[in-house]
Structure 1
Amino acid sequence: MKSVSKISVLMYFDYREYLRDVLEAFRCSDKAFSMRALQESLGVCGSAFFARILDGARPLSLENAEILAASFKLNDLDSEYFKALVQFGNEKNVDRRETLLRKLISVRSHNKEYALKDSALGFFSKWYIPVLRDLLPLLPAGESFAKIGRMFTPGLKASQVETAIKYLKDNEFVSVDADGKFVVKDSLISTPPRVRSMVLRKYHLKNLEIDREVYDSFAADERSVSSVTCSLSLESFEKVRLEIHNFRERILAIAREEKNPSIVCHLGLQLLPRAKGGRK
């Protein structure tokens, strides 16, 4: 079988998308290519083998992934990535999936192009990095790292601020203008939804932890905390989710229209089932 080196597996975080593109490339480049011949080389039966994998009806086993990697003539690095990609796609446990995601990113780091893309994921690696990005434009030029750290609740070390600012500059989330002031740049973090959700999971959990830690640090008029417990159908649950989304967009619109900001706030919105029962 021909090599598929022109289609880099390192581009993908979903093995089904990779297989779909590879099979399509084979069809376009090799008139003699047939799914039956490929399946025979894998030692699998059934004309719907790939169809069932691609539509999510069945997973690709690690054993078949190893055979495919050899059939596709993947080099050692790409083969390692492909097998980890299959494990990542099949894994149900959230913690093990996070470990596999770190492995994928580690393998991708051997390629400079992907290493640069993945470095942007670090934006959510620390709770204070998004806060710092919004804070920096509010500060005068030349503010010390130590002083900036004292503006946070809880406070940050000067070294944490210095490292975070370097990260924001290196990844073009902020820049410095001619007057030495920081300017926010509209950098986008473009990642597949599943990868983004994995990265955001720990970020959200850490923010919940920080909120609990600093709750008593603010007077009643410096915070707004409320909650509601209610019974919903699945249909109403989705309506509430939409309301939360629309509310979030309105908050962002208010922030965009702000002409004289002086504080950076974190607004957390959670909607979670606490009990299930009765009719759905």
Structure 2
Amino acid sequence: MKDILEYTSYRQYIADYYAERKAKSAFSWQEFASLAGFSSSIFLKYVSEGRYNLGEATAVRVATAMKLADYECDFFVELVKFDHAKTDAEKKAAYGKMISIAEAHKAKVLEGDSFRFFSDWKNPVIRELAPAMPGAKPLALAHACREKITAAEVSETLNFLVKAGLLQKDDAGNYTQTEKSVTTGPMEVTPVAVRGMHRQMGEFALDAIEGVPQAERHFSGVTLGVTHEAYNEIVQEIAECRKRVIAIATRDSAVDEVYRLNMQFFPMTNIKGLKK
């Protein structure tokens, strides 16, 4: 089975651990539960299936039963915290610790780079800005951003983008993009970071209403009554529109400014809730 540091779900790790032990011996869920100090023979089976949860204390017991020691035990506990976190802030904190544990032991957490990229507005903005300003030093890049950012933060962001393979730096100190666009893809953890970025960009959009001349920004909106079928069709239309916008933006290698496009379509009522 995979190393513990490659997992983002503690339930999957428990299931894989059991399957591996079962394939090699007469290992049972009852024996597994007993090793972890549970009276119910099927408790851990139900945990792996998502019916029951582990707490922080019981997570340590299960980790010990699986012979996870030191940083592996710590990582397993953070997996449990991540799974049970009620807010995005709690999830980000737990996942951040998972990444730190993995990096300290020369391992790479699945989705780690993607999670970090979408956790902060600085990453996508600097990724677009640096190639548009050849030879520019971090301080110049910082001054070019409308939102407050220091030269040190720019340097840290550039180092991360190069390390993650999202930018390339030549001998002259110029940056180029390895890919024209970056998307989340079908991942388990990254959406937590993406929701945080949506909040950041939403706040910047509010500031832009007053802080950016009208000739340099475009805001429009419409309020609609729709059916569920129409909603699905509109969402698909938005997705296609987004693809067309990306195609327009990426057909020319020159960049005059870095823009953010927020496409939002959300409910203003709760009619279904009233019907219930």
Matched, 1:20 2:11: no
Alignment partner of 2:51 out of 30, 53, 57: 57
Matched, 1:171 2:141: no
- Paired residue type of 1:154: E
Alignment partner of 1:10 out of 5, 11, 18: 5
The aligned residue for residue 266 of structure 2 is 272
SS in 2 for 1:273: coil
1:228-279 deviation line (CA, Å, top 9, x unaligned) = 2222334433333222222222222222322443222110122222220155
CA contact (8 A) 1:81 1:107 kept: yes
TM-aligned CA distance change 1:248 to 1:160, over 3 Å: same
- Paired residue type of 2:18: L
In structure 1, what is the Cα distance between the partners aligned to 2:55 and 2:157? 41
Range moving further from structure 2, 230-239 or 201-210: 230-239
The aligned residue for residue 213 of structure 1 is 207
Following TM superposition, by how much is the alpha carbon of 1:74 offset from its aligned partner in structure 2, in angstroms? Answer: 1.0
Matched, 1:153 2:146: yes
1:148-190 deviation line (CA, Å, top 9, x unaligned) = 3332223644333333223322333211235553211139788
SS in 2 for 1:114: coil
In structure 2, what is the Cα distance between the partners aligned to 1:105 and 1:97? 12
Following TM superposition, by how much is the alpha carbon of 1:133 offset from its aligned partner in structure 2, in angstroms? Answer: 1.0
Please provide the CA RMSD for this pair.
3.0
TM-aligned CA distance change 1:149 to 1:80, over 3 Å: closer
In structure 2, what is the Cα distance between the partners aligned to 1:95 and 1:155? 22
CA contact (8 A) 1:10 1:108 kept: yes
Provide structure 2 residue ranges, at least 5 long, that are not aligned to the other structure: none
CA contact (8 A) 1:154 1:214 kept: no
Q: After superposition, where does 1:89-168 map in structure 2 within 5 Å?
A: 89-114=83-108, 118=112, 121-140=115-134, 142-154=135-147, 156-168=149-161
In structure 2, what is the Cα distance between the partners aligned to 1:194 and 1:64? 24
CA contact (8 A) 1:121 1:189 kept: no
- TM-score w.r.t. the length of structure 1 is 0.82
In structure 2, what is the Cα distance between the partners aligned to 1:116 and 1:20? 18
Query: For this pair of structures, how many residues does the alignment match?
Result: 272
In structure 2, what is the Cα distance between the partners aligned to 1:185 and 1:159? 23
Range moving further from structure 2, 76-85 or 233-242: 233-242
Matched, 1:239 2:238: no
SS in 1 for 2:271: coil
Following TM superposition, by how much is the alpha carbon of 1:207 offset from its aligned partner in structure 2, in angstroms? Answer: 1.3
- TM-score w.r.t. the length of structure 2 is 0.83
In structure 1, what is the Cα distance between the partners aligned to 2:79 and 2:151? 38
- Paired residue type of 1:131: V
Identity of matched residues, %: 25
Matched, 1:84 2:104: no
SS in 2 for 1:183: strand
TM-aligned CA distance change 1:68 to 1:115, over 3 Å: closer
Matched, 1:198 2:196: no
TM-aligned CA distance change 1:68 to 1:155, over 3 Å: closer
Following TM superposition, by how much is the alpha carbon of 1:130 offset from its aligned partner in structure 2, in angstroms? Answer: 0.8
In structure 2, what is the Cα distance between the partners aligned to 1:250 and 1:112? 40
